[in-house]
Chains A and B, each alone.
Chain A
Amino acid sequence: MRRHELNRRGFLKLAGVSSVAFGAATTGLPSPLRASAEARKNRGQRFTTYDRGVKTPNFCEMCFWNCGVDVYTRDGKVHKLEGNKLNPNNRGHLCAKGNAGIQSTYDPDRVPGPMIRVGERGEGKFKKVSWEEAFDEVHRRLAPLLDKYGGETLATFMHGTGEQYAHTLTLALESPNITVPAYSQCMGSREMAWALTFGTGVSGHETYDMAYSKHMMIFGRNMAGAIQVREAEDFAEGLARGARLTYIDPRQSESAVRATDWLQIQPGTDGALALGFIHVIIRDRLYDVDFITKYAHGFNELQAHVKQFTPEWAEKKCGIDARTIERIAWEFAKDAPNVVAIPARRMTRYGNDTQTVRAIAILNALMGNWGVPGGIFVRTSVPLELPEHEHPEVPDVQRADGVGEGEAYPLAPPSLGRTNGIFEATLTQKPYPIKAWLLYGTNPLSHSSIGVNKIFEAIKNLDLIIAIDTQFSDTVMYADIVLPESTYLERDDAPFIQKDKIPFVALRKAAIKPIYDTKGAFDICKGIAEKFELDDWFEERSPEQQNAALERALTKEQRETLERDGVLRFEDVDPYPVASGSRPVFMTGTGKVQLFVDDLVAMHKEHGEAFSPLPVYLDPPEPKTGEFRLLFGRTPHHSHARSQNNWILLELQSDTPVWIHPDDAHKLGIKKGDKVQIHSDATGYTSRPEAVKITRRIKAGSLFINHGFGHRTPLWHLGDLKGTKDNYFISDGIDPISGAAAFHNGFVTITKATS
């Protein structure tokens, strides 16, 4: 279980409270043990001093959302991280992971220096080499592959602050195959649907104005569990101010804690429910006529199209009572426009995801909540003139991942790519041989989008895996060359510049010197580039130079503010242009909110219903009798891969109990306290025995486990083999519009463990 029962601390029993001590305590001690009056007077003196130490500005790298951090050091050692009060990403708070960032830096299992693999892949046997030797080795092994197969044989996966350097290096080596897993393994379908409708994505820092919302309608976005600090703050603030919360999820997650209505929906049918809401809202004329008339494209088509999606139809699909659908639609519209409908963040679920989010986006549009408080706020860019860096041109070569004009996924953004496409290309060596991977802060052998079973096959085709990482991840175990990056507490970085509700700039300055023989991403990528005589692309690009360029763009007063606070906010912006009476800008093909998407018409004709320019619901595949759908999701205590060897976070959670509904458990004879194993015929994997959590908080027919566990990294003393890895059991589906993955059609059996 995630948290203990409310009982006595285990070690009280274990450590033993001797009967002698007990006796002494209860009967009173002989006088020699009583403290002198002097000693009693001085009690507690030590508790009134606090050396806060030296503060350096930073932003968090425990996950990708870069909350502002004040790093406090004493005698050259980091002793405390605190949230930067002025950083809009977190307003002074840090989550459990952010607070535990120190342990990641002082983790004795970190990569101590550049490494070359000497054992078998996966065995974890490396020899430490100098940086010069490591860069030479990269050149010695990569150059012949580039010569033989062309630059495109290199595929790069990147995630983290140093991405810009891995990006430049890859383009300079003449490969177009750059991917960011955040698209195809996470937000891809959500961002695609939002962009088709509004001309912009939700963005990583989500634009839901929850703090001022009167009604949050949340479709499976676990605000309280899958924590991003600002979103969690706004969610809690909105609830505290009295917002209604309609929380839609087959699982009662942390976010259901104060739901006005928790709708335990049939998995994969969120689109049907959203269409049911739209039907009622249009049928009963509850939409914002003014907003729709001025700013929407295709309302008449939508009105005719949704006549079929009655609440009764939706009830049949999603299992939510038709009268409840009507009631909630009415309640939602009553508080418009200060309401917001929120799709899941990791919308890589059932393969109908882009269409589902299209329906949710349209729900928002009908409420006229764009650019108004409590609805969807509008972001503004940081108003600074910074030098544009010259980048190598994207080579004119077909991408390997099916992204691009005339390819299978023409709408997917080449800037992010499809990791699932790269995995497939590596497995099949089509459309051309992929022989080398460069990994920057990513862990595809643990979290992939074609199934871990296929990934292990795919990497057999690779002649070279180069990993830049702060730690020995599952994938680093398989790398041929490991180039260790300094952690965020040990390195300077380029300024963090965020387009947002309050746009801002934040600084990262090294609080301590690197503990091990590590470098920042700039020095690592430039070091490789030098061996290929491509380091010209890294001129004027160092963190130091980019910080200096920023300073030149600032006024004296701004410089002083940034120096003092570690963050500089630009508050002269209007996140609520529609409420202010300004005309909003929609960067869509029609310049309007697209209820109907013209860009999908041709594909709709050619490929069918999945590409409908009006939102549709498509049934997800269903499990066979005796099988369960495996759902998974985040815990507030861990990230995908960066938190698993962190002792303090492991104290909070170190296992993945399997959630099952009591009716299902009863049928299978599974009882509280049993260990269970799950098995997938599709992937052939069986889990190790895990605890079972029998609860009505999960929908019958589905199982749930937390994501981010089950890592296999023999060089980790704490985090190796903790819990079960969802990735062994999930599906390898694809959303046809976005090209992003669909994970939630993984079907498994569950049995009581015999051992």
Chain B
Amino acid sequence: MSKSPVNTKLNKEKNLAMVIVGDRCIGCDACYVACKTDWEVPALKEAYRTKVYEVEGVDNHGNPTIGFLPTLCNHCDNAPCVSVCPTGASFKREEDGIVLVEPDMCIGCKACMVACPYDARYYDEEKQSVDKCTFCLPRISNGLDPACVTTCVGESRNFGDLNDSGSVVSQLIRNATSIARLKEDEGTLPNVYYVTVSDY
């Protein structure tokens, strides 16, 4: 039996994850706007909780290629932003693994922003706190999907509990023909998965 394709190190009640079907992203950036709007992310180009990169490349014949890479906080099980935080403002919820910043405890040292390998954090001058994706905890606590998942035009983004074998994310992981995570070699144990699926 090969090792599990998903994180199992922490004994979380819920194993929340975002599973992105890469082929379905059309680079429309609806997620970026839905997210910024819902969470009143500052009106700054550098402030965002999710972002889609357009990746240009070259194929074997020398022809140009393009692809899209949606990114957000990976809510890592081994989160460098949490271990580096001097006050405990950056923390990981034991019950579901969501990584949050408690604004009242943040002193704005930005060490977490430097530590994060995914560039997932920004500083909110008004809140005087670092801020980031919360996996839309306020929404999911009230029975809604995250804002980016709700609006995703290509239905590329999926969210749910990997401990629930019936969830969409579990099904996608089971049916995936490939599974990748960003910068796995850094040992961060990210919870955002990029999959390709052949069976719909």
Contacts and interface: CB of A to CB of B under 8 A. Distances in A.
A318 interface: no
Interface string A73-104: 00000011111000000001111101110110
Contacts of B109: 17, 21-22, 24-25
Given A35-B105, A240-B197, 15 more contacts: A11-B47, A25-B86, A29-B86, A33-B86, A39-B88, A43-B89, A52-B142, A95-B30, A99-B30, A99-B34, A100-B37, A224-B26, A233-B155, A252-B66, A652-B29
A633 to B, nearest CB: 14
Interface string A22-37: 1011101100011100
A7 to B, nearest CB: 8
A15 B123 contact: yes
B119 A25 contact: no
B144 A95 contact: no
B113 interface: yes
B187 interface: no
Contact of A236 (B26, B137, B144): B26
A257 interface: yes
A532 interface: no
A586 to B, nearest CB: 33
Given A93-B152, A99-B37, A236-B155, A44 B30 contact: no
Nearest to A37: B88
3 nearest CB pairs, A to B: A25-B111, A236-B154, A50-B138
Given A52-B142, A99-B151, A236-B154, A636 B29 contact: yes
Contacts of B122: 9, 11
Contact of A96 (B28, B67, B113): B28
Contacts of B141: 47-50
Contact of B63 (A7, A34, A79, A696): A696
A24 B109 CA distance: 8
A236 B27 contact: no
A92 B37 contact: no
B26 A254 contact: yes
A566 B153 CA distance: 20
B107 interface: yes
A648 B67 contact: no
A232 B154 contact: yes
Contacts of B21: 240
9 contacts: A9-B119, A11-B47, A17-B114, A24-B109, A40-B88, A47-B134, A96-B30, A96-B32, A636-B28
B198 A242 contact: yes
Interface stretch (B4-12, B51-59, B162-170): B51-59
Contacts of B108: 21
Contact of B142 (A3, A50, A102): A50
Interface string A187-215: 00000000000000000000000000000
B13 interface: no
A10 interface: yes
Nearest to B66: A257
Contacts of A232: 26, 28, 153-154
B175 to A, nearest CB: 12
B100 A44 contact: yes
B30 A696 contact: no
B53 A47 contact: no
Given A43-B100, A257-B67, A9 B34 contact: no
Interface residues of B, number: 69
Contacts of A225: 27
B67 to A, nearest CB: 6
Given A80-B38, A258-B23, A652-B32, A697 B64 contact: yes
A305 interface: no
A3 B45 CA distance: 11
A636 B134 contact: no
B56 A695 contact: yes
Given A22-B109, A232-B154, A94 B34 contact: yes
Nearest to A693: B56
A171 to B, nearest CB: 39
Given A240-B21, A254-B27, A697-B64, A48 B137 contact: yes
A637 interface: yes
Contacts of A235: 26
Contact of B150 (A82, A223, A651): A82
Given A48-B137, A80-B38, A648-B33, A33 B87 contact: yes
Given A35-B88, A236-B155, A48 B138 contact: yes
A236 B153 CA distance: 8
Contact of A240 (B150, B152, B153, B200): B200
Given A6-B53, A99-B37, A82 B151 contact: yes
Nearest to A72: B38
A258 B200 CA distance: 17
Interface string B89-130: 101010000001010110111110110000100110000000
A80 B46 contact: no
A607 interface: no
B176 interface: no
B1 interface: no
B14 interface: no
Nearest to A231: B153
A239 B198 CA distance: 11
A44 B154 contact: no
Nearest to B48: A651
A148 interface: no
Contacts of A241: 200
Contacts of B91: 40, 43-44
A229 B28 CA distance: 10
Given A17-B110, A48-B138, A236-B155, A96 B68 contact: no
